[in-house]
Amino acid sequence: MMDDAVLDFTPGSLMVLNAVLAVVMFSIAIDLKPRDFKLLMQAPRPLVVGLASQFVLLPALTFLLVLAVRPQPSVALGLILVAACPGGNISNFITYRAGGNAALSVSMTAFATIGAIVLTPLNIAFWGGLYEPSARILRATHIDPLQIAVTVGLMLVLPLVLGVALNIRRPDLTRRLRPPLQWLSMGIFVAFIAVALAANWAQFLQYAGGIAGLVIVHNALALGGGYGLAMLTGLSPFDRRAVTIETGIQNSGLGLALIFGFFGGLGGMAVVAAFWGIWHAISGIALATLMRRTVAAP
């Protein structure tokens, strides 16, 4: 049974995953300067809408999906956990490819990463606790929200602060580092996920078929919800693309780290996060290709 399956993932592998995520976050952070945050503070509406889409709308839509489909408890909690994570590390690249507001996308990733210290454990506990089958898993694992907050802080916020600080002190160095580091970090991340999947390939194939359709629907809800909220709140097409993609590209790598770090690699949760990591890249790049056919007005 999927709820009883545990994927093979050693403590050493978890440390490597945490380090990879830190490098990916650092590669994003060296694109940022304090003035980027200042500009958004002067006109915060797109940022506020984007964060509300990520941390309020998406978890709520996920809960409704869980209620409608009633998947196995570990799958339900996996969907909720992925929805509770901040935007994914490839969202900035995809937003740029889509002709959207890449500066807004990078800043949303930064603010969502900082907010994730509180909002990710809060959303997991709140929405997971509302669905009784997943609430039983939460009670059995005795998750400490403070531990999750510390993990998110060390993996994402610390590299973010260090990256911004380096960009302030040595902009010449970050200018040279930026392109190769971003491609290298993404390559390492993809390679790591591929190796982890290879080690658990039989179990992944056994369970992925039943989960694939659910993840595709979940991702479509995320993209559609982000676009709908951005349109209803009157954002420009330029900003709308950033909010749409930032909502539909979740940090599934962080999700995997939390699943293996706090839930013992529970099969249904891990397969959801792993399939999300594959599918959101496919759907995001396909959507960016469609969006790029028309120029978005600022």
Range in 62-76, 87-101, 196-210, 270-284 the model is least confident about = 196-210
Q: Is the pLDDT of residue 5 over 60?
A: no
The pLDDT of residue 14:
59
Q: Percent of the chain scored above 90 by pLDDT?
A: 27
- Which 3 state secondary structure label does DSSP give 185? helix
Distance of CA 210 to the CA centre of its chain: 22
- Structure tokens, 272: 């959801």
Task: Give bridge partners of residue 6 from the DSSP assignment.
Answer: 266
Please state, in angstroms and rounded to a whole number, the distance separating the CA atoms of residues 132 and 134: 5
Domains of the chain in start order, with CATH, are: 2-291 (1.20.1530.20)
Average pLDDT, the chain: 81
Burial class (CB within 10 angstroms; exposed 0-12, middle 13-18, buried 19+) of 216: middle
Residue 36's pLDDT is what? 66
Q: Is 6 helix (H, G, I), strand (E, B) or coil?
A: strand
Number of CB atoms found within 10 A of residue 121's CB: 23
pTM of the model: 0.82
Residues 156-166, mean pLDDT to the nearest whole number: 83
The residue type found at 24 is V
pLDDT band at 101 (very low <50, low <70, confident <90, very high): confident
Helix axes 267-291, 201-232, angle to 10 degrees: 50
In order of 53, 226, 231, 290, 297, the CA distances from 237 in angstroms are 16, 12, 8, 14, 6
Q: Give the number of residues written for the chain.
A: 298
> For the purposes of burial, counting CB atoms within 10 Å of the CB of 103, is it exposed (0-12), middle (13-18) or buried (19 or more)?
middle
- Within 8 A by CB and 6+ apart from 229, the residues are 49, 52, 53, 57, 243, 247
Q: What is the pLDDT of residue 195?
A: 67
Tokens for 136? 């039983």
